[in-house]
Structure 1
Amino acid sequence: MRLPPEDRELSPRTGYTREHWVAAADGLLEAAWRWASPRGARLDLPGPASANGVRSDGLEGFARTFLAAGFRVAGEGGKDPHGWLGQYAEGLDAGTRTPGRDDAESWPVILDHDVAGQPMVEAASVALGLRLTRPWLWDGLDSRVRDRVEDWLRGALRHVPSPNNWYLFPYTVAGFLESVGRGDAETARARDRALELLEGWYRGDGWYADGDGRAFDHYNGWALHLYPVLDAYLAGTPTPLGERLLEHLESFALWFGGDGAPVHFGRSLIYRFAAASAVGLGAVTGDTPLRPGVSRRVLSGALRYFLDRGATGEDGLLSLGWHGPHAPTAQFYSGPGSPYWASKAFVCLLAPAGHPLWTEVEEPAPSEGPGAVLAQPVPGFLLQSTPDGIVRLHNHGSDHLRPHEAESADGDDPHYGRFAYSTGTGPTARDNPSDNHFAVVVGGVRSVRRRIHPLGAGAGDSWGWAASWHRPVFGRGPATVPGLRVESVTVARGRDDVRVHRVAGAPPGAGAEQTGWATRLGESVLRPLLGWTGLDEVRAPQGTAYVPWVVLPRLTGDVHGTTVFAALAVLGTEPRDPVASATADGVEICWPDGFVVRIRFGRLEVSAG
């Protein structure tokens, strides 16, 4: 990728300017278009097919790169020096001539989400790309091509989306059709239904759940905020949804480390710098509390983080992974074109060159300060940053389990079920020992955490806490043990996080295990404070998205009746050495400087003094 020289006066933190973003968009597009079908309807990028099949994957490559081209050309007022729009126009013509035909160009038809439904996702990207570039692309298409494109897009309005952010795909398709005078009762229904569901999924403080249940992750920014707020912006109509984006960004900027990395948490992480798209959207629409120099620092930090670490290989293509290729980071629905949802980050290019986002001097990101602890009670998160720039996320509320779904160990997801995540570590793979995990051990079988029930979160001056309970689930034998329950509290202060677990209802002979951060040997600390009797290490040979091989510190102990365990976990090597002691109804944690945190179980209370 050919990038311009760094500008350390305007951007002292990253060196990146708007010109770097334009060059990155062009570089990604140039590399992807080398794999276009003869008439450009599909970009059949090299790599293993997704569960949706190669034809759907080829459409995905076309549609998602079209987003990057749309933001790039619209942000330049229609200037298209590389002729991207002409190539997409020919591809639109070829792809919609005979939808569903098994040939090199025809797009698959749009069906229900459970019947090869991926084209519905891509329809939204096609519609958004067309809306962004209407004066220079859509308005110049032959009327017969416009009719065919509309016919294909309307499949998104007539089929059933997945019960989550997917409802915003027909919403986006309908928004485009209405913007070009092709709206009707069908488009109105799609938009009304999406907004109705969005209201039900809104939980406060800028957080939407991704469907019914408690799935909170990066989809909050790159989908649930992005589509409706961008729709209103392109329509030139104010929306109260912008206030929610502003609320989200009040704390979301701390989800990025000092090196630019987003917190490695949740699904679809192969979208990489798309995680920063809400920051760019807020800067464009004005729905942000962040100063322009902070917004650009977060945006450019995320882009540079991945470009510097091999997200694009020698062929210039975004790989299925995090830094480089990493199979456990991808989902079953991920194909070679999937990573190009990263194109959403280029929404920042809708801010023209003279916008303060690009003219103000870069400022430090929130994670570049002396350290902070931030509670997010709505999703059940506790964020902890330290002077080394690493941000930790302690998860006591997001589980990616729908309300009707049974808890099963088969569905254990490392990107939700662990107690802690960070910008510098990734979870271990499912078939390796689990990092940052608390397990009850019954008959030699370790439990997993599926449905998470938040109990609260709060923060004081330089410290914070978050708590939850869960029902341990087992992969062999009975799925659960009647009456078995684990209540968990994380207390964060400085680099320290103290993990307290209260086990009740365990059968005779049960044990417990606690693991720490997944790092190279000697880069993390896990110390017993209360209840633990053994300490050893276990290896995860498959490594993480960050390193190819890791070792996990592990604590072990026995469960006798209702048992309380406490441990100190540190990502790094400089703990403050707190001590913990049992009280009549909980635990007291005391640091050498006299700071004390008291935890009372039952009707949970956490206080400091």
Structure 2
Amino acid sequence: MKLPGEDRVLSPHTGYTRDHWVAVADGLLTAAWRWATPGGARLDLPGPPSGSGVRSDGLEGFARTFLAAAFRVAGEDGKDPHGWLERYATGLDAGTRSPGRDDAESWPVIADRSQPMVESASIALGLRLTRPWLWDHLAPTVQDRVEAWLRGALRHVPAPNNWYLFPFTVAGFLSAVGRADAETSQARERALELLEGWYHGDGWYADGDGRAFDHYNGWALHLYPVLDAHLARESTHFGPRLREHLESFALWFGGDGAPLHFGRSLTYRFAAASAVGLGAVTGHTPLRPGVSRRLLSGALRYFLDRGAVDDRGLLSLGWHGPHAPTVQHYSGPGSPYWASKAFVCLLAPPDHPLWTSTEEPAPSETADTVLALPAAGLLLQSTHDGVVRLHNHGSHDVKPHQAESAAEDNPHYGRFAYSTRTGPTARDNPADNHFAVVVDGVRSVRRRIHPLGAGQGDGWGWAASWHRPVFGHGPATVPGLRVESVTVVRGRDELRVHRVLGAPPGAAVEQTGWATAPGESVLRPLSGWTGQDEARAPHGTAFGSWVSLPRLTADVRGTGVFTALAVLGTESEHPVASATTEAVEIGWPDGFAVRIRFEPLQVSAVSLSREGVRA
């Protein structure tokens, strides 16, 4: 991949300009098209297949790279020096001649909850973006075949989450080219109806019924409706919601450009920045253009500099490079190309302020920041060294109709904390940032998270939740067993407070800290803990091939309260704590203190008494 020289005057933080984005798009497309079928209908990229099979994976490679080509050509007002659209036009013709046939070119048909439904949205959006230069030049018979294939998305049942926006997007394209009918109207109305029910406030949607808040909020739940309205030149309430989302989401990127390593489908990598680009393009953003470009280019460069593109020019399945624990069962070789959504920023022409303004620091680079998101049950904590931490007290992947199971432990949701510098340990290793109740030698996991509140003060913040520990062996739960948890942050300090209720005789508890190289994090007992050691995770994380975690242990019976200080980095302050089963008080050397009362939950700043911390 050949990139232009850096421009450290216009882009003092990343050196990247719009020309870099165009060059990356062309480089990714050039490499991917080396694996095209003779008729160009599928891009059969090398690698293990997804659960949907090789033919679906080939369609995925075609559809997701088409999205990158569409943003790139539309942003140049139709200029296509590499002839990308001609290739995709040929592929559209070949892929829709005999859908479902087992041959080298034919696309799979769209069925209920099938992967081709996902890809239909990328194809429809790509066609809508490039209509004057592609769709309008297709033969009428090809147009009819493409429409017939796309309508499969309108006639089958999506997965119960952001998938409803795929038929919404297909219907939006068909409407834009004069092919609207009752079927397209119904698909759009149903998606918008569901979207309203999934909106929780603060700019945050859940990914379906339940409480899954993650990067899908930006690269799907905001992107499709906001871009749809932008292309239709309509004013909707989705734009202001995107603006509100970016108020907090701008803090999801570290000073090195990394997005928070949290949630599913992280192999989409710099797609995490797509909402930032969308906001800049549509004007629905609170961010200055120089900040938006800093976040966009920072994320792109972060992954390019760390091996996300292999020596064949292909995006691998993983995070930096290949990393199996980051990947979901539905991910195939073409899946990482949902990163193409970040190229939405190219819809801003070269003379747009996004590209002409001087880069400014990212929010995580300016000062220590604490931001509570009560709607999502999340707490953001960044420090001036550019590290961002997310404390999870509200996001999980358990649907309302599902039971909890320790066998389905999800490291990308169940841990108490995530960051831009660390990733969760794999299921087969000790869990980082985890509080476990141990019964008969079996450690519990945290699945369904019940938020209890979140808030912030001057330089500090808190979030709280409760969960029912579940076990993988023996009885799934212990009657009456419950864990209430509160995280309080200030500077780099994280105070982790847990109250255990209903612990059976012989039970124990464990608290682990950040997964890092030895000595790069702190976990110090403040109250309740009696043992301290280190657990090793040889499987490593997405950030390192081998890590260790500090660990605290204690016995517990009935009710117990346990308080610890965690620091990602070197400890600078030395807070102390005093606890009873009803309350905890934590004080810092400078006189600041926080009191936590459990029933009902109250978290407040207080003044230290002359005797020091008391509860």
Taking structure 1 as the reference length, what is the TM-score of the superposition? Answer: 0.99
Which aligned pairs between 1:22-421 and structure 2 lie closer than 5 A? 22-113=22-113, 117-421=114-418
Q: Note the alpha carbon deviations across 1:127-173, whole angstroms, 9 max, x for none.
A: 00000000000000011000000000000000000000000000000
Q: CA deviation at 1:411?
A: 1.1
Q: Note the alpha carbon deviations across 1:109-133, whole angstroms, 9 max, x for none.
A: 00001xxx00000000000000000
Residue identity opposite 1:289 in structure 2 = P
Q: Which residue of 1 aligns with 2:611?
A: none
Are the equivalent residues in 1 in contact too, given 2:499–2:581 (CA < 8 A)? Answer: no
Q: Note the alpha carbon deviations across 1:542-593, whole angstroms, 9 max, x for none.
A: 1000000001111000113210000111100123111110146210001111
Q: Which residue of 1 aligns with 2:3?
A: 3
Residue identity opposite 2:136 in structure 1 = D
Match of 2:605 among 579, 591, 608: 608
Q: CA deviation at 1:219?
A: 0.3
Work out whether 1:425 is the aligned partner of 2:422.
Answer: yes
Q: Note the alpha carbon deviations across 1:26-60, whole angstroms, 9 max, x for none.
A: 01100100000011100000000000000000000
Q: CA deviation at 1:240?
A: 1.1
Match of 2:518 among 513, 516, 521: 521
Q: How many residues align?
A: 606
Counterpart CA distance in 1 for 2:427 and 2:104 is 37
Could you say what secondary structure the match of 1:474 adopts? coil
Q: Measured at CA, do residues 505 and 6 of structure 1 come closer, stay the same or move farther in structure 2, by a change above 3 Å?
A: same
Could you say what secondary structure the match of 2:225 adopts? helix
Counterpart CA distance in 2 for 1:583 and 1:59 is 59
Could you say what secondary structure the match of 2:503 adopts? coil
Could you say what secondary structure the match of 1:331 adopts? coil
Match of 1:590 among 587, 611, 614: 587
Q: Which residue of 2 aligns with 1:562?
A: 559
Counterpart CA distance in 1 for 2:508 and 2:541 is 27
Residue identity opposite 2:545 in structure 1 = P
Give the CA RMSD over aligned residues: 0.6
Match of 2:532 among 532, 535, 549: 535
Q: Note the alpha carbon deviations across 1:470-490, whole angstroms, 9 max, x for none.
A: 000000000001110000000
Q: Which residue of 2 aligns with 1:511?
A: 508
Residue identity opposite 1:183 in structure 2 = A
Are the equivalent residues in 1 in contact too, given 2:289–2:357 (CA < 8 A)? Answer: yes
Could you say what secondary structure the match of 1:457 adopts? strand
Counterpart CA distance in 1 for 2:558 and 2:503 is 7
Counterpart CA distance in 1 for 2:571 and 2:430 is 25
User: Which ranges in structure 2 are unaligned for 5 or more consecutive residues?
Assistant: 607-615
Q: CA deviation at 1:415?
A: 0.1
Residue identity opposite 2:151 in structure 1 = R
Residue identity opposite 2:70 in structure 1 = G
Identity %: 81
Are the equivalent residues in 1 in contact too, given 2:499–2:561 (CA < 8 A)? Answer: yes
Could you say what secondary structure the match of 1:249 adopts? helix
Q: Note the alpha carbon deviations across 1:309-357, whole angstroms, 9 max, x for none.
A: 0000101100000000000000000000000000000000000000000
Are the equivalent residues in 1 in contact too, given 2:561–2:581 (CA < 8 A)? Answer: no
Could you say what secondary structure the match of 2:444 adopts? strand
Residue identity opposite 1:471 in structure 2 = R
Are the equivalent residues in 1 in contact too, given 2:239–2:284 (CA < 8 A)? Answer: yes
User: Which ranges in structure 1 are unaligned for 5 or more consecutive residues?
Assistant: none
Work out whether 1:580 is the aligned partner of 2:614.
Answer: no
Residue identity opposite 1:547 in structure 2 = G
Counterpart CA distance in 1 for 2:603 and 2:120 is 48
Q: Which residue of 1 aligns with 2:613?
A: none
Q: CA deviation at 1:388?
A: 1.2
Taking structure 2 as the reference length, what is the TM-score of the superposition? Answer: 0.98
Q: CA deviation at 1:239?
A: 1.1
Counterpart CA distance in 1 for 2:259 and 2:398 is 23
Which stretch of structure 1 is more off in the superposition, 262-271 or 586-595?
586-595
Residue identity opposite 2:569 in structure 1 = G
Counterpart CA distance in 1 for 2:434 and 2:237 is 40
Counterpart CA distance in 2 for 1:364 and 1:373 is 17
Q: CA deviation at 1:541?
A: 0.7
